[in-house]
Structure 1
Amino acid sequence: MSTSADHGPLMRYIKHGSLVSQIALGLVAGVVFAFFLPEAAKSVALLGDLFVKALKSVAPVLVFILVLSSIANHRQGSKSNMGRVVALYLVGTFLAALLAVVVSFIFPVSIQLQTTTESLNPPDNIGDVLLTVLLNIVDNPVGAILNANYMGILAWAIALGIALRNASDSTKEVARHLSDAVSFVVRLVIRFAPLGIFGLVAGTIATTGFSVLWDYARLLAILLGCMLVVALVVNPLIVWTQIRRNPYPLVFTCLKESGVTAFFTRSSAANIPVNMNLSKKLGLNEDIYSVSIPLGATINMGGAAITITVLTLAAVNTLGISVDIGTALLLSVVAAIAACGASGVAGGSLLLIPLAASLFGMSNDVAMQIVGVGFIIGVLQDSAETALNSSTDVLFTAAASMHQDQHA
């Protein structure tokens, strides 16, 4: 028997209203709350921490079970089109780095390099990044899940999924039921996104503020401008080559329903459940998105490529180092490769800047000063980077899935 409260407009909105509009409401409420009650806003930051923690906790299990189940129950003869998705990821990341090089040449910017010591341990070369990724792949499955090592999780899930392809139907059915159960938990967590976003926004503004960013406004403008161009020009062009129709409805859907959440969680891994949910909502092929979404969270790093390139060239301009076309193109390649390995290195894209800086003979001390600048502007830079990376995971997955449907 239902109560009168169940039929009230507020309860109907909470239970059945648009999640995007609820998140937007939580965003605005967080800004207002932090402005008028900054001390109290620091306390509600706990809501944001709990939301991000819940997403990060469920994501490894979701990826492992969903990928395993999808491969074990894969229909014989059907194509997953994963090769096309990976190609889109790599092309998109390289073009993002190339755009950052071009924009940095047109609008050169310098940064103040000060001596700042950070207890960081960046990789020395591309080989170290690739070795880290390789070691992550062969990690033991329990350790991979506990440490949210998605390369290891993917490797074990794919291997076990393939091994279970010849299992009995009842065993496959168990895997499918486990997948449904974990997906239910994910949907439950995502329903709390408005409260989580409210806590994240209120806590961030009350604690950090944005006044410190004004000194770096021009550098931020270059970074955010490049990311906007990739999101609104480069990515739509790539998608158009796959679906041959107006890509912007799909682009805006991905930015609205994936990018907004990723902007505030600042974690591609935490946004995996959100992207899985959006992919299902878009009616995409589960054989594709169950693998491509977690894979994209590890190798589809257009935003990271932009960050590495722009900050490196800002240091190059500051030091008065001349850059020819060949070196600029090489920087694009190195930044793209480094970005693809960003998830395998603690600290993400910022700690991979020394790799790109080494192309121009910069010492590690100078490179780490660039990293320090990155941390200063990280409030907006990291948020925008994650939003671009994560929303593009769904965008390119959808493009490949739609391309497959068109040519089926």
Structure 2
Amino acid sequence: MEKKKIKIGLVPKLIIAIIVGILFGQFLPEGFCRFVVTLSGFFSTFLKFVIPLMILAYVTMGIADLSQGAGKLLLITVALSYGSTLIAGSASYLVSSSLFPHFMSEGALDQIAATADASLTPFFSITLEPVMDTLSAVALAFVMGLCLSSMRGKEMGNSLYNGMSDFSKIIDKVLHTIIIPLLPLYICGTFTDMTISGKTFAILSILWKVFLVVIIMHLICITIQFVIAGTVSKKNPFTLIKNQIPGYTTALGTQSSAATIPVNLECAKKDGVCEQIRNFVVPLCANIHMAGSMITITACATAVCLMNQLPISLEIIVPFIMTLGVAMVASPGAPGGSIMTALPFLYMVFGAEAGDPDGAICAIMVALYITQDSFGTACNVSGDNAIGVIVDTIYKKFIAKTPQEN
């Protein structure tokens, strides 16, 4: 009888990596710890190289594929998704900035500040310059995506679209086979360095409280979304929430909006959403509706700023949220996809130096986010069906009664 292989998910691997990193930094010689930090540095250099390519591939295809829906339904769905994402992120900041300072004792903050310059240096590093900077990648992705969306099949053929689609699959392969599997090494190196410098335990004493608050915000967000959907559609919101439980639990397990689509379609069917609308809204929102991810990223960014005594305000966070609301379009359907897409924009909150994607602060941000990624994904997909109920109601009341678009 063939033995069944035990698969360990990404979150358990990251937790193991954090524990191993702490043990390395606590008990092993500095030379070995520098070796681990050196390997982690190689990965962070490669990550910095891949990020602009990831943005170019995913954002271009995400925007190009938005032309697939009927005009009015597309505009309504995109507006609801983007609005939900912005409101969720802004509310997350307001809650986080009010609660998190109470979690952070003056002693812990002083301990973190005192170890700022105590990091280990790698034995050596490799210079690998990105093909383009992140802003150039975003601008090019917008130009390519919008032009492909409006010109494909009218003013040009499908060759460039197919080429970008293949390029997106290549980047997806790199993400699944290199970036995601090696993330534990990156986190292990970071926590090895942090333990030697003395800041690990001060940070961990804060993070578990942040984790708890973020989960509660996700659940409140889902409840509000379904109350609004129930009010618009005149359906019982608690019945809608009950119908969503299979989709929520599936997302917790898969950590992927894309992988949850089949189950989410069944949830939408139970909600009474017609086949035409659910087949359009659920797959589209799996790529463009990121309310749960935005709650997590905003809360984590706020916590990291407070821990490192970096300035943060609504004026700083709102442009960041608005940018991510677009940049995370079609972020890969893999664990950690949203934070990997958001990584190059963290400088908008942390500043140019602290926001370096291969720096320790961003590594803490990645670790903190991914430990909560499954809950953010579950919040995302639950909100997808709340939007589906609203769009279905609008369609049946107004659009279905008018002549259909060609």
TM-score, L = length of structure 1: 0.55
Deviations along 1:267-323, one digit per CA (max 9) or x if unpaired, are: xxxxxxxxxxx23212274433444569x78996343245456777x99xxxxxxxx
Secondary structure, aligned partner of 1:171: coil
- State the distance in 2 between where 1:300 and 1:22 align: 18
**Residues 4-403 of structure 1 correspond to what in structure 2 (within 5 A)?**
18=7, 21=9, 24-25=12-13, 28=16, 31-32=19-20, 35=24, 38=33, 40-42=35-37, 44-45=39-40, 48-49=43-44, 52-53=47-48, 55-56=50-51, 58-76=53-71, 78-79=73-74, 81-103=77-99, 109-110=105-106, 111-112=109-110, 146-149=132-135, 151-153=138-140, 155-164=142-151, 167=154, 171-172=157-158, 175-176=161-162, 178-179=164-165, 182-183=168-169, 185-193=171-179, 195-209=181-195, 212-213=198-199, 216-217=202-203, 221-222=205-206, 225-230=209-214, 232-243=215-226, 244-245=240-241, 278-283=256-261, 285-292=282-289, 301-308=298-305, 333-334=314-315, 336-337=317-318, 339-340=320-321, 347-351=347-351, 378=361, 382-383=365-366, 386-387=369-370, 394-395=377-378, 397-403=380-386
1:55 Cα deviation from its structure 2 partner: 4.8
The 8 Å contact of residues 300 and 393 in structure 1, kept in 2 or not, is answered as no
Secondary structure, aligned partner of 1:146: coil
What value does the CA root-mean-square deviation take over the aligned residues? Answer: 5.2
- State the distance in 1 between where 2:192 and 2:361 align: 16
The 8 Å contact of residues 17 and 184 in structure 2, kept in 1 or not, is answered as yes
1:100 Cα deviation from its structure 2 partner: 2.7
Deviations along 1:240-263, one digit per CA (max 9) or x if unpaired, are: 3335415777667667765xxxxx
1:59 Cα deviation from its structure 2 partner: 1.0
- State the distance in 2 between where 1:205 and 1:116 align: 13
Gaps of 5+ in 1: 1-6, 119-143, 259-277, 316-330, 353-367
The 8 Å contact of residues 248 and 382 in structure 2, kept in 1 or not, is answered as no
The 8 Å contact of residues 258 and 283 in structure 2, kept in 1 or not, is answered as yes
Pair 286,160 (structure 1): closer, same or farther in 2 beyond 3 Å: farther
- State the distance in 2 between where 1:161 and 1:299 align: 32
Identity of matched residues, %: 10
Give the letter for the 2:347 counterpart: G
Secondary structure, aligned partner of 2:199: helix
Give the letter for the 1:97 counterpart: Y
1:147 Cα deviation from its structure 2 partner: 1.5
Pair 245,299 (structure 1): closer, same or farther in 2 beyond 3 Å: closer
Pair 198,311 (structure 1): closer, same or farther in 2 beyond 3 Å: closer
The 8 Å contact of residues 92 and 295 in structure 2, kept in 1 or not, is answered as no
Secondary structure, aligned partner of 2:210: helix
1:28 Cα deviation from its structure 2 partner: 3.0
1:235 Cα deviation from its structure 2 partner: 1.3
Pair 242,58 (structure 1): closer, same or farther in 2 beyond 3 Å: same
Deviations along 1:16-70, one digit per CA (max 9) or x if unpaired, are: x75x536735763785487366455345436743763575254123224412430
- State the distance in 2 between where 1:30 and 1:221 align: 14
- State the distance in 2 between where 1:400 and 1:156 align: 29
1:347 Cα deviation from its structure 2 partner: 3.0
- State the distance in 1 between where 2:362 and 2:189 align: 12
State the partner residue of 2:337.
none
Gaps of 5+ in 2: 118-129, 227-239, 265-281, 325-341, 393-406
Aligned length: 312
- State the distance in 1 between where 2:372 and 2:151 align: 32
Secondary structure, aligned partner of 2:241: coil
- State the distance in 1 between where 2:190 and 2:133 align: 26
Pair 62,309 (structure 1): closer, same or farther in 2 beyond 3 Å: same
